[in-house]
Structure 1
Amino acid sequence: MITLKHLLPRGIYGRAALILVLPIVIIQLVVSMAFIQRHYEGVTRQMTGGVAIDLAYLLQEFGAGSSAEEARARADAIGGPLQITVTFPPGPFAPVDDSVAILDFSGRAIVETLHAEIPEMRAADVSGDDRTVRTRIATPFGDIQADIARRRMSATNPHQLLVLMVLTSVLMTVISFFFLRRQLRPIAKLAEAAEAFGRGERIAYRPRGALEVRAAGRAFVEMRDRIERQIEQRMLMLSGVSHDLRTPLTRMRLALSLMPEDEDSRDLQADVIQMERLVDEFLAFVRGDATEGEEDCDPAAIATEVIQAARRGGGTVADLVVTGVSRRAKLRVQGVHRALENLLGNALRHGSMAQISLSFSPHTLVFAVEDNGPGIPESEREKAVQPFTRLGSARDPNQGGGVGLGLSITADIAASHGGALWLGTGRDLGGLRAEMRLRR
C-alpha cells in the first residue's frame, strides 16, 4: 500500500526542495484565489454597473416612443453611440435563461449585477465564444435583445500578472535552491566522509558551511583521528603480542619434534597446535578488518576460491549457486574470504555436506552457506553470534578447539559492509543456513 511517506523524497536535497517549493505554491494559490479573483470580480461589477446605466437610459428612451417603430428608431439612435446593439423583436440567439460557464467567475458577476441594476432584465448569456453579452429585457412594446461587447463589462483576464508572478516565483525558487544547495553540500560531504571511513577509506574532508555544520565536521575529524590512533596502537600491540606468543610456541614445537615420539609427546604437540589455533583466532577477532580498504572484485570468484580450498581439505561442498545478474562489487576481499571460510568450516564440522549460494540484487549482495547438520535452535541463534559463546554439544561452534569467535567475526565483517549476518533453517539441505548480507 502506497502511503504519503512513500511519496515523500528520502534525500536531504529532495526534502529541502519540498520545504522550499511547497510554501511558494501554496502562497501562489492563496494570492490567486483570495486577491486576484476578488479584485477582478470587483472591477467587473463596477464596469457592469456603468454599462447598466447606459442600458437603463436606452430602455427609458425606448419606452418613451409612441409606437414600436418610433421606439426602435430611438433605440437605434442611442444604441450606436453607446456601443449597444438592439434587436427588436429579439433574434433567434436571444437568451431565454441565464447562461454562465462553470468556471467563469467574472461572467457570474456580470449576470448578477445586470439583474440587480435593471429590474426588467429577463435573461443574460455570457457563455458565447465571441465575447459578447446577450441580454433579453422586457419593455412596454415587448422583449428586446441588447448585445454588448464583454470587454466593456469585464476586466481583462489577469494573464500578464499571473505569468509575471509565476516567472518571478520560478526565478526566486532557482536562486533559493542554489543557496540552499550550498548550505546542504557540507552536510552531504560530511556524510560521504563518515561512510567512507566506515568502509576503511580516508577521503579528504574539511569542515565547511554553517556554524553547526562546522562544529559537527570538526567533531567528526577529531573522532576519526582518535580512532585511527587507537587502531595504529592496537596493531602495534598485536604485532608485539603475536611475536611474543609465537616465539615460545615455535620453540616448544621444535623441542617436541626432537623428543622421542610417544603418547605424551603427541599429546603435548596437540596442545601446542591447539594453542597456536587459539592465538590465531584471538588475533583475528581483535584485528578485524579496520585497516583493510575496499576494492573492486568478483564476489563469485571469492566464493569459488573458498569452495575449492574446502574441497582440497577433504570437505564435500556443492557447486556455487548464483542467482541474479552477476556483477563486480567493492568489498573487503580478505574479510569476506575469512567470513566465508568461517561459515563453511562450521558447516563442514557439523554436517557432512555444505553449499554456498550467491544472490545479486540492485542494492544488496547475499552470501548464503547451508549444511545438512542439526542446525541451531531459533532461541539460541542470537546468542550464537556473540563472541566467546559455546552452545550445546549438538551444535558447538568451538568443536575442534575453537573459542566461539567464528560467527562473531563474520557478523563484524558483514556489519563493516553495511550489512548483517542472519541465521535460519536451510531450504535445500535442512541444516543451518547462514546468510551474510552485504550492501552494494
Structure 2
Amino acid sequence: MFGWLKRMMPRGLYGRAALILLVPIITLQIVVSGQILQRYFREVAAQMSTALALDLQLVADAVAAGEGRARGIAAALKIDIAMAPPGLLRDQRVLYDLTGIEAIAVLRRELPGLVAVDLVSNWRRPMIVIDTQEGNIALSVARSRMSASNPHQLLVLMVALGLFMTWVAYLFLRNQLKPIKRLSDAAEAFGKGRVVTYHPSGATEVRSAGHAFLDMRARIEGMIEQRTLMLSGVSHDLRTPLTRMKLGLSMLDEGPEVEALLRDVAEMEALLATFLDFARSEALDDPVAIDPIALVQALVDDLARGGVRVDLVLPARGGTVMLRPQAVRRCLTNLISNAQRYGTTVRLTLNLPPRSIRFSIEDDGPGIPAARRAEALVPFARLDEARNQDKGSGVGLGLAIARDIAQRHGGSLSLSDSAALGGLRADLVLPR
C-alpha cells in the first residue's frame, strides 16, 4: 500500500535525517501560520473594521444632516473629509492584501451607503467613498485602524527563525552523522580488501558499533593470516619429503612402477604449488592507476609466448583506473587456464561500464550445468564428470582463487553459458 511512498523516500542517511528534521518543522510552521492567518486576517481585521465603520457612519450622518460640526467630529476621530473622485466606483486592493478582503467585507456589511473602498492609491490612508444626501464623500483614515499593521512581520520572523534553527540543527546533525559515514567507509573499504585508519567517535551507540567493527576486523584479519600461514606452512613442509621421494625414485631403475610413482610425486608438487597460490591470494598488491587495456594486452602477450592462444576483444577507448595489477593478472590467468584446459578456443572480452570493469572469459568446452555452478566455485570442488579431462584435471582451486580475489576487491565472479562459443562464460566484475 505504501510502496510508492518508500520509493520516494531518500536512500541516503543524510537525506533521511534531513527529512526527519524538516517534516516536524514544516508541519509546525503550517499549523502556526494557519492560526495566525485565521486570527489576523479575519478576526482582528473584522473587529477593527467594525469599530471603524461606526466612526465612519457617524461622520457620514453628520455630513448628511448638514451639521457644521461634521468636520469637527471628523477631526476628533482623525478622519479626513474630501470630495470623492468621480471615477472611483468599485473596490480596489492589491492581490496580496489579504486583510483588505475581510475589511472590505465588514465595511460593506456595516455601511449601507458604501460606494467603494480604495486600498491602492494610498496604502497608509485608504479612502472610503460613501453616498450621502450631499453626494458622494471620501473619508480617509489610517490603515492601522482598519486592520493590524504589518501582520506579515510575525510570519516573516517565524519563517526566518525556523530556517535559522533548521540550519543550526543541520550542523549538529551533520556532526552526528559523520562518525556513521566514516564507519560505513571503513567497512566498505575492508570489504574491498583495503584497511583504512578508523577511530570510533560520535554518540555512545556509534562508538559501540565502531569498536565492534574494529574487533570484527581484527578477528577476520587474524583468521585470514592464520589460514595463510597454515596453508603456506603445510605446503612448504611437505616439499622436503616430496623432494626426498623424488630424489630416491630417480636413483631407482626405470620401470612402470617408478614412472607411476614419479607421476604421483609430480601431481603432489602441482597440488602444493596450487595450495601456495591459494594462500598467496590473500596478499593482494596495492592499487595503482593503470590502463586495463594495457593490462590484458600484456597478459595475453605473455600467455602467447607460453603457447596459449587467447582471442582478445577490447573496447575502442580505455582510461586509467585504480586496480591491483598482480592480483587481477593472477585471477585472469586462472580463468584463462581453466578455459584452455577444457576447450580449444578461449576469448577474453574487456568492457568498461561507467562504474565497473568487466572481464569476460569464454570457451567452447562442455561448460558446467547451471545447477552445479555454485559448487564449482567452492575450494577443492572438482566436477570432472561435467568437464573434459583430455587435457588433465586440476585440483579444484582455480575458480575458488579467482572468486576469492574478486571478493577481496569488492567485486564478483559469476558463471554462465557462452552465447558466442557455446561453452562456459566467466564474468569478473570489479568496482572502480
- What is the rounded CA distance, in whole Å, between the counterparts of 2:48 and 2:296 in structure 1? 84
Identity rate of aligned residues, in percent? Answer: 44
Q: CA 1:278/1:323 → structure 2, altered by over 3 Å: closer, same or farther?
A: farther
Q: CA 1:355/1:129 → structure 2, altered by over 3 Å: closer, same or farther?
A: farther
Matched, 1:401 2:397: no
Corresponding residue for 1:68?
none
SS at match of 1:429: coil
Corresponding residue for 1:202?
195
What are the Cα deviations for residues 355-410 of structure 1, in whole angstroms up to 9, with x where unaligned?
22222233212111122334334344333333333436453599623133322222
- What is the rounded CA distance, in whole Å, between the counterparts of 1:388 and 1:239 in structure 2? 16
Matched, 1:172 2:168: no
SS at match of 2:311: coil
Moved more, 395-404 or 183-192: 395-404
Matched, 1:83 2:83: no
Query: Which one-letter code corresponds to 2:267 in the other structure?
Result: Q
Corresponding residue for 1:217?
210
Corresponding residue for 1:14?
15
What are the Cα deviations for residues 227-251 of structure 1, in whole angstroms up to 9, with x where unaligned?
3333333333223211221112222
Corresponding residue for 1:42?
43
What are the Cα deviations for residues 87-110 of structure 1, in whole angstroms up to 9, with x where unaligned?
35x611221xx5666654212111
Q: CA 1:340/1:397 → structure 2, altered by over 3 Å: closer, same or farther?
A: farther
In the TM superposition, what is the alpha-carbon distance from 1:336 to its structure 2 partner?
Answer: 2.0
Q: CA 1:293/1:114 → structure 2, altered by over 3 Å: closer, same or farther?
A: farther
What are the Cα deviations for residues 168-193 of structure 1, in whole angstroms up to 9, with x where unaligned?
33332333222222322222232233
Moved more, 373-382 or 187-196: 373-382
Aligned with residue 342 of structure 1, among 334, 352, 356? 334
- What is the rounded CA distance, in whole Å, between the counterparts of 1:252 and 1:380 in structure 2? 37
- What is the rounded CA distance, in whole Å, between the counterparts of 1:397 and 1:57 in structure 2? 116
TM-score normalized with structure 2 length: 0.85
What are the Cα deviations for residues 102-159 of structure 1, in whole angstroms up to 9, with x where unaligned?
6542121112211232233355454x36436454544456665555554442323344
SS at match of 2:428: strand
Corresponding residue for 2:418?
426
Corresponding residue for 1:412?
404
Q: Structure 1: where are the runs of 5+ without partners?
A: 66-70
Corresponding residue for 1:436?
428
Q: CA 1:200/1:385 → structure 2, altered by over 3 Å: closer, same or farther?
A: closer
SS at match of 1:169: helix
Q: Does the 8 Å CA contact 2:41/2:98 hold for their aligned counterparts?
A: no
In the TM superposition, what is the alpha-carbon distance from 1:344 to its structure 2 partner?
Answer: 0.8
TM-score normalized with structure 1 length: 0.83
Matched, 1:57 2:74: no
Q: CA 1:212/1:274 → structure 2, altered by over 3 Å: closer, same or farther?
A: same
Q: Structure 2: where are the runs of 5+ without partners?
A: none
Query: Which one-letter code corresponds to 1:92 in the other structure?
Result: G
How many residues are matched?
Answer: 427
Moved more, 171-180 or 105-114: 171-180
Q: CA 1:26/1:129 → structure 2, altered by over 3 Å: closer, same or farther?
A: farther
Matched, 1:364 2:356: yes
SS at match of 2:359: strand
In the TM superposition, what is the alpha-carbon distance from 1:296 to its structure 2 partner?
Answer: 1.2
